[in-house]
Amino acid sequence: MKIRLQRVQYMPKDLEEGVLYVSEEFGTAAHLCACGCRSKIRTPLGPTEWAFEDTPLGPSLDPSIGNWQQACRSHYWIRRGNVNWAGSWTPEQVEAGRKNEEARRKAYYDDLNSRSSRSPLRRIWDWLSGLFRK
């Protein structure tokens, strides 16, 4: 299945199959489940959620889409406009995945809070030294 990108400000009420709707203004994406069950799948975009990339071959979302709360329990990646199916997860794997996501979010915000409490001079030094690490 091919997925094409449609940039929107607001999500439409009715979604079209094969379209990834992205509102960068509101940091969200939506599409109909790739299995054909027509479930609306919404993915928040941001540093602790899904990453969106618009490539010449089509849109990508990272990480995978795991529809664990839907009857279909579909699991797939959207990569360069293609749906790449992934294996089904057990309830234990779903729980472990959710715990990993929460740990990743906590680490991100802990680091962000740590950086904001640094002195202005230290933040400038960190920024300058970061330019040379890349």
More confident position, 109 or 91: 91
Asked if 54 contacts 63 with a C-beta cutoff of 8 angstroms, the reply is no
Asked if 4 contacts 58 with a C-beta cutoff of 8 angstroms, the reply is yes
Does residue 46 register a pLDDT over 60? yes
Helices and strands in the chain, H and E counts:
2, 8
Does residue 109 register a pLDDT over 90? no
Q: pLDDT tier at 131 (50, 70, 90 boundaries)?
A: confident
Question: Residue 74 has what pLDDT?
Answer: 93
Q: Helix, strand, coil shares of the chain as percentages rounded to 5?
A: 30, 35, 35
Provide CB contacts within 8 A for 96, sequence distance 6+: none
Amino acid at 48: T
Q: Tens digit of pLDDT for each residue in 81-106?
A: 999 999 888 889 889 888 988 888 88
Question: Residue 126 has what pLDDT?
Answer: 77
